[in-house]
Structure 1
Amino acid sequence: MATSNSSNRGTNFISVFLYTLLIALVGLFSYLAYNSFDSKKSASSDSTAVYIQPDSNFTHVWTAPSEWRMMYLAPEEKELVLYGKELIAHTSEYLGPKGSVRALSNGMNCQNCHLQAGTQPWGNNYFAVQSTYPKFRARSGTVEDQVKRVNDCFERSLNGQALATESKEMRAILSYIKWLGTDVEKGIAPKGSGIFKLKGLKRAIDPVKGAEVYAAKCQSCHQADGGGVLAEGGHSYTYPPLWGSHSYNHGAGLFRMSNFAGYVKYNMPLGATYEKPQLSDEEAWDVAAYVNSMPRPGKDLSKDWPDISGKPFDHPFGPYVDPFPESQHKYGPYKPIKEWIKKHKKSKS
């Protein structure tokens, strides 16, 4: 009796095992057959797909050095670098109208124009400053050092006064700029530095169309009157003013249409990047026309461009060596101006 039961149990075990194995094999063959069909289907679909070559402008973009590398700096240098970053990010807290160090500027932060404390690709960053300065600049007609470059921002974009060359604040800002230039080869501006050079339009840019873009995509942050939004405490701006008495003056770099258009194309509205832009080229140019047609502080520019032949195509104030009026230099179309400049530069050489 015991032997019979053992034999039955053995037979049942084998039957269950074989049945389970059969089920597993059926499942495996079904899986393989399905995936074979699916892969053939995908291959068939992919054969009609068009491969889009990535835009080389947006690959291998330079980035800021990782902050862990500061461990290799001397303690005093690291302290200056971190203070410099703080000054760029929260300029007005230290150097604004209610600044804790001194009152020098209009309440904006350097970071309002140099995004992510000067580290965002094509966000008007500082990647190439250490590697390219000192250098000759046609605007002043002189060889400029980094001190001059920083103070230009204070006097133009921040519509304020120059920082003392030997001040701790100037030394800190220069140390931070030097840090961001770590590993950048001398004389080289790495990909992603500064502001993207946006292709021009065939037509004149249009402030009226720009007003529509501004109302739809900009004024929720910068407000209908362009006055921005003050942060709690009133020391700085959460969203900076784009025109009016507290904005940049007409000597600032962003007052040039090409700079403003290239800047907003890959950085605005808030959240846009070169990887995920939100504005078309036309919208970027037109909103530049609108914003830079609005009132703002003036500046004495009589010493700028001592050689007027060096003025850029979109510098909006004459006199010029070319025959085009101020209005066309400001709003375009720019192609005829650029072609005239190119032709006459060749004839000079």
Structure 2
Amino acid sequence: MGRALPLLFWCACGLAQAFDITPYRVGDSLPASEARVLLARYAARPQQPWREPDEARIPAGPEGDQIRDGIDLLRNTSRRVGKLAPDETKRMNWNSLNCVNCHQAGPSGLPGSKKFALPLVNAVNDYPKFDIKSGKIISLEQRALGMFGAGSVPILADTPEFQSIMAYLRWLARDTRPGAAMDGAGLMPMDAMPRAADPLRGQKLFATKCQACHGADATGQRKADFNNGGGYLFPPLTGDDTYDNAGHMFAVPLLARYIRASMPLGASHDKPQLTAAEALDIAAYVNDDATPRRHNPNRAKLYPDAALRPQGFAIPEHFAGQSPRAYQRAKFGPFRNVNEHY
């Protein structure tokens, strides 16, 4: 097991609130046996109630200014740091999406504050953690930097824009229980479906439930000033400006859980507009290999430990020499557990 020095900026972001990874350090690779123990301890963290953020509680002065700047960056990522941002020296993101497109706003109106829609409210307490996708222990900063991808301008931990985002995440976690999990975080739990997810059914459902916002080809609706960094009115689900064929959302069960808690427009975890079966079918259509999407040339290196690999991460490279049916079964199910950790 490799030992890596902790990142200096990890300490700056509130190590006292982090999940205890003793005896490991950020950057360590863990064998499956040790990873399972750490993952079990992570899953057994005490649960704290959901904490609805209140923008009125942001402090005055420089600290508050930085937090508000972080909020603006999550709302207007494309204009501020996107690949078409007006200021070419700030083009630190690889796409024209806004962070709030995925980390949706809840009743507070703040980015990352909607239950089960990848909320950020408790992110500080959720890291560092063992990341089965890389096989290493990662910090929140590493995860956030990774979300920016390879923009034309590098983004670093000490970049002012990144520091503003981290200031917002720290503020969201104020008054939370250090190191504890939170109700409503992550993705909405969902019952398994006894049949395989069906992309053909999903295509029909998409046409009636999703097409009005995301477009007939699922490439989203661009704002009038898109070419000047305006981004999307409704984000794309296919094409080159969204997650690639190795992203977390490319796993059918994971995307289905996200869809059910937040789609169509107006849906929420307590008032879903889709059944679990409908969400899985739509996810199967969106993530079908026939749907145009950026290819990740390194995807075969992800989830390096097959013993820890979630069933929903299905790529042809892992089924070399097997029948096409085996791959289709892995990709579309039926899944024994749609709530696996990714």
TM range (shorter): 0.7 to 0.9
Q: Which residue of 2 aligns with 1:288?
A: 283
What is the CA distance between 1:285 and its match in structure 2? 0.6
Of the three residues 295, 298, 309, the one matched with 1:298 is 295
Residue 195 of structure 2 corresponds to residue 203 of structure 1: yes
Q: Work out whether 1:185 is the aligned partner of 2:180.
A: no
> For each residue in 1:195-228, what CA deviation from the matched residue of structure 2 results, as whole angstroms up to 9, or x when unmatched?
1121221111000000011000100010001111
Give the TM-score, by structure 2 length: 0.74
Amino acid at match of 1:253: H
Q: Percent identity?
A: 31
| Paired positions, count | 273
Check conservation: 2:222, 2:232, Cα contact below 8 A: yes
Instruction: Please tell me the residue identity of whatever aligns with 1:297.
Output: R
Query: Deviations for 1:254-299, whole angstroms, at most 9, x for unmatched residues?
Result: 1111221111112111111122211111111100000111221122
Q: Quick one: structure 1 residues 200 and 162, their matched pair in 2 at CA, closer, same or farther if it must change by over 3 Å?
A: farther
TM-score by length of 1: 0.73
Which structure shows the higher helix fraction?
Answer: 1
Q: For residue 243 of structure 1, give the secondary structure of its aligned residue in structure 2.
A: coil
Give the aligned partner of residue 263 of structure 1: 258
In structure 1, stretches of 5+ residues that fail to align are 1-59, 342-349
C-alpha distance 133-142 of structure 1, shift in aligned 2 (>3 A): same
Relative to structure 2, which stretch is displaced further, 296-305 or 163-172? 296-305
Deviations 1:300-346 (CA, angstroms, capped at 9, x unpaired): 224322222111111112538xx9933222100112x89xx9xxxxx
- Which amino acid counterpart does residue 152 of structure 1 have in structure 2? G
Q: Which runs of 5+ in 2 are unaligned?
A: 1-47, 106-110
| Counterparts of 1:63 and 1:221, CA distance in 2 | 30
SS at match of 1:238: strand
The Cα of 1:152 is off from its aligned counterpart by 2.5
Q: 1:53-72 CA deviation, whole Å, 9 max, x = no partner? A: xxxxxxx961332122223x
Structure-2 separation of matches of 1:144 and 1:225: 36
Match of 1:143 in 2: 137
User: Alpha-carbon deviations, 1:93-147, whole Å to 9, x = none?
Assistant: 1111221352232111111111011110111111231002111111111111112
* 2: CA distance, partners of 1:65 / 1:118: 10
| Alpha-carbon contact 1:256-1:315 (below 8 Å) kept | yes
Partner of residue 123, structure 1: 117
Q: Secondary structure at the match of 2:137?
A: strand
2:331 alignment partner in structure 1: 330
Give 2:53's aligned residue: 65
Letter in 2 for 1:108: L
Alpha-carbon distance in 2 for matches of 1:284, 1:302: 27
Answer whether contact 2:51 2:176 (CA < 8 A) is retained.
Answer: no
Where 1:143 maps in the other structure, the secondary structure is strand
Deviations along 1:165-189, whole A, 9 cap, x unmatched?
Answer: 1101111111111111222222222
One-letter amino acid matched to 1:115: Q
Hey, what does 1:225 align to over in structure 2? 217
Corresponding residue of 1:314: 312
**Structure with greater contact order relative to length (CA < 8 Å, sep ≥ 6):** 2
Q: Which residue of 2 aligns with 1:11?
A: none
